[in-house]
Structure 1
Amino acid sequence: MSFAATEKARMTDLWSSQYRPGDLLASGFQLRSPSLNLLDLARDPAVGYFRKNAISWHLHANHALSSQVACLNFLMPLATRPALLRDCLAAALGDAPDEMVAVDTGPDGQDLFVGFEWPGRRDYLNECGGRPPQRGANATNADAIVRVRRGGLTETILIEWKYTESYRPATAPWSDGNRTRLERYADLIFAPNGPVRADCGLAPEAFFHEPVYQLLRQQMLAYQMQRHREDGADRVRVLHVSPAQNTALHRMTAPGLPEGDVFEVFASLLDRPEDFTTVTTDRMFAPLAQAADTDTLTGEWILQLKRRYPFAFDG
């Protein structure tokens, strides 16, 4: 069975014992409301944050395998726990930031060290007709954003979160006639105006297959945020988080790109490969295993994470 099929079956069994029949839809792996899909410590802060910032829930946010919800279940409680968040970033990036920097505020005005559904403060990618981009829809959004100080510099990290997603290989080069992509992005892809090497010998259309297309847009967003020094950032990079067990996600799908692991190939095409980092979910959140007994609320949240997402603690 694929990772997605295994997770779907596991979650169907878990939810049959966890939820009342009135909360579950007939499928057995969908809930009547996205808020029910959130763990206790993430629910109220996430709902209030989305309401405050007019963020739309993803279409399948009530689904057991929702990436948006998984991201919130892991990161929303860390938004008010900067020390533990710093430990998780150190595990993901290989070294600890000197300091966490607040990136947003919650509904009650409290500083948050993680923001969600972040499109940048300007229409950097020509997606909104020059208007400020909408958070969570109709523009390239990072699933989450954190900011740190390291060596006297301010660094912004855009987080892209994956769960059970995988993509079918394209059978032919891009030729669907959608000229909008070219009009928006063609001048933002290659160095010195974009993140991809100018000498890679590829046309823009080579990147227009998922998940490469999404990787490209996230990296272009990071590049432009750094170029414009958004919120004083000296550096902006992308951190891609996904389960180690989801090997199908690593399949190369773009016929015009070299064969191999899609993330390794993508990084090799960047002018600055170090600005794109991939990490497995279990590696990034390994520090949570040592934090379970820090306080009652944190400990209960971690126990819920382990029950909901055991794959993230297999390491």
Structure 2
Amino acid sequence: MASIYQESQREKAIDLIQSKNPVFYGSLGGKKFMTKFRDFVLIDNIKNLFEPIRSDAVEYFKKNKISWWGGKQPTGHSLSSQIACINHLYQIRNDKEAVLTILKNISDDFTDVLPVVNDKFKPAYIQFEAVSDNDNLNEGVPNRGSNCTSIDALIFGVRNDGSHWLIPIEWKYTEFYNNQNKATEGCTKETKGSKGETRKNRYSQLINNSSQLRSENHFCYYFEPFYQLMRQTLWAEQMIINSKNETLKATNFLHVHVIPSENSDLLEKKYKCSGMGMEATWRFHLEDQSKYFIITPEKLMNGIKDKTYYDLLQYLKIRYW
């Protein structure tokens, strides 16, 4: 069942597709997705990407061995948050000034950005579907974009004291979540080695040892979206703890959550595990709340030079904002 915001964005995408708005470059909707033909899924899926970045982004994913959400090619699903993240950030990834501008929209304490050099192909100032070099979370060999903790976008920043910080960015669009407890998934009295038990075995001790995650009660950590946020926090912490074995050597991190303010079904839901909204729930579980920051996509892109990125900003305004 769709949320109010998700349904509004579906209708918006369908209107743009059917009216032949240039943001979808003439592609028709109606491709099959999850057993049904859907008007908001593009038949020509490559046209889900902003045209100036299209060929470069596809090559970047292929040569860095990154998985696309839902398959081997960019999805035609017009509400994909992976596609939204790439459409917003890919064109600026080589522009140091632009990347520093968006980082300063998060915190004025940053004075520089450095290349994320562990991209084997076309490293720049933003990396997509970032993983650690090593298995720091008991998940197996890191595989960018699937079957492990991946970061939607990563910036490597320098603070005003000269320290190097990881800036993991989690990008949301129309997502909202049910009340599934991932710690009990697949569990029965007769079942051993269930998905839920595997998850707890992976993360419980890391949570207990965390300096950022409060460990008195693990319950909320296994409900979305907190399950993702928990793993990303552990990812950043373990990157720092194991920095001598990682290409990116940082001493701290700032976890950024990009969410449209209109997505009330994600932000304002009273979560079963806490009885509070999303932000209040997550902040309750953090020792240092200054390391977590929520921003809208539009505010994140504020200050990007209009002349240089006029076409990109117009595209984003029509399609997303």
- Structure 1 residues 115 and 21, CA gap change in structure 2 (3 angstroms): closer
Q: Distance in 2 between matches of 1:137 and 1:21?
A: 28
Shift of 1:64: 0.7
Task: Please name the residue that 1:145 is paired with.
Answer: 154
Cα deviation digits, residues 247-298 of structure 1 (max 9, x gap): 11124565343x322223212312222222111222212223xx222x3xx2
**Where does 1:254-265 land on structure 2 (aligned, <5 Å)?**
254-257=271-274, 259-265=275-281
Residue number among 214, 226, 240 corresponding to 2:257 in the alignment = 240
1:179 aligns with 2:197: yes
Correspondence for 2:138:
126
Which amino acid in 2 is paired with 1:249?
A: L
- Structure-2 separation of matches of 1:62 and 1:2: 22
Which one of 130, 135, 142 corresponds to residue 144 of structure 2?
135
1:21 CA drift (Å): 5.8
Q: CA deviation at 1:103?
A: 0.4
Question: Structure 2 vs 1, CA of residues 21 and 300 (structure 1 numbering), >3 Å: closer, same or farther?
Answer: closer
**Structure 1 pair 21/152, CA: closer, same or farther in 2 (3 Å)?**
closer
Q: Deviations over 1:28-51 (max 9, x none)?
A: 211235422100222122101101
Q: What are structure 2's unaligned runs of at least 5 residues?
A: 32-36, 188-195
| Other-structure match for 2:288 | 272
**Letter of the aligned partner of 1:5 in structure 2?**
E
Q: Cα distance, 1:219 vs. partner?
A: 0.9
Match of 1:209 among 196, 207, 223: 223
Which residue matches 1:306? 317
The question of whether the paired residues in 2 share the 8 Å contact of 1:250 and 1:263 is answered with yes
| Separation (CA, whole Å) in 2 of partners of 1:182 and 1:255 | 19
Tell me what 1:167 maps to: 177
2:13 aligned partner:
11
Q: TM-score, normalised by structure 1?
A: 0.85
Identify the residue that residue 58 of structure 2 maps to in structure 1: 47
CA RMSD of aligned residues (A): 2.3
| Aligned residue in 1 for 2:193 | none
* 1:31 is aligned to 2:42: yes
Please state if 1:154 is matched with 2:169.
no
1:116 aligned residue? 128
Query: Which residue identity does 2:127 align to in structure 1?
Result: G
Task: Please give the alpha-carbon distance, in whole angstroms, between the structure 2 residues aligned to 1:15 and 1:79.
Answer: 28
User: Do the aligned partners of residues 253 and 124 (structure 1) sit closer, same or farther apart at CA in structure 2, a change above 3 Å counting?
Assistant: farther
Question: In structure 2, do the counterparts of structure 1 residues 173 and 306 end up closer, same or farther at CA, with 3 Å as the change threshold?
Answer: closer
Provide the C-alpha distance between the structure 1 equivalents of 2:56 and 2:116, rounded to a whole number of angstroms: 15
Partner of 1:197: 214
Instruction: Give SS of 2:253's match.
Output: strand
Aligned equivalents of 1:94, 1:237: Cα separation in 2: 9
Amino acid at match of 2:107: G
Question: Is contact 1:209–1:253 with CA below 8 Å preserved after alignment?
Answer: no
Distance 1:228 1:106 in 2: 19
Query: Equivalent residue of 1:146, what SS?
Result: strand
Q: Residue 74 and residue 173 in structure 1: after superposition, are their counterparts in 2 closer, same or farther (change >3 A)?
A: closer
Structure 1 window deviating more from structure 2 (97-106 vs 276-285): it is: 97-106
Question: With structure 2 as the length reference, what TM-score do the two structures score?
Answer: 0.84
- For residues 223 and 166 of structure 1, what CA distance do their matches in structure 2 show? 26
Alpha-carbon contact 1:30-1:64 (below 8 Å) kept: yes
Residue 75 of structure 1 aligns with which residue? 89
Question: Per the alignment, do residues 106 and 227 of structure 1 end up closer, same or farther by CA in structure 2, a change over 3 Å counting?
Answer: closer
Displacement of 1:237: 2.7
Tell me how far apart the structure 1 counterparts of residues 42 and 182 of structure 2 sit (CA, whole Å).
Answer: 38
What residue identity is the alignment partner of 2:175?
E
Mark the CA change 1:75 to 1:56 in structure 2 (over 3 Å): closer, same or farther: same
- Measured at CA, do residues 197 and 20 of structure 1 come closer, stay the same or move farther in structure 2, by a change above 3 Å? closer
Judge conservation of contact 1:174–1:206 (CA < 8 Å) in 2.
no
User: Are residue 100 (structure 1) and residue 97 (structure 2) matched?
Assistant: no
Contact 1:169–1:252 (CA<8 Å) still a contact in 2? no
For 1:274 and 1:46, the matched residues in 2 are separated by: 32
| C-alpha distance 251-95 of structure 1, shift in aligned 2 (>3 A) | same
The equivalences for 1:275-294 within 5 A come to 275-288=291-304, 291-293=305-307
Identity %, equivalent residues: 28
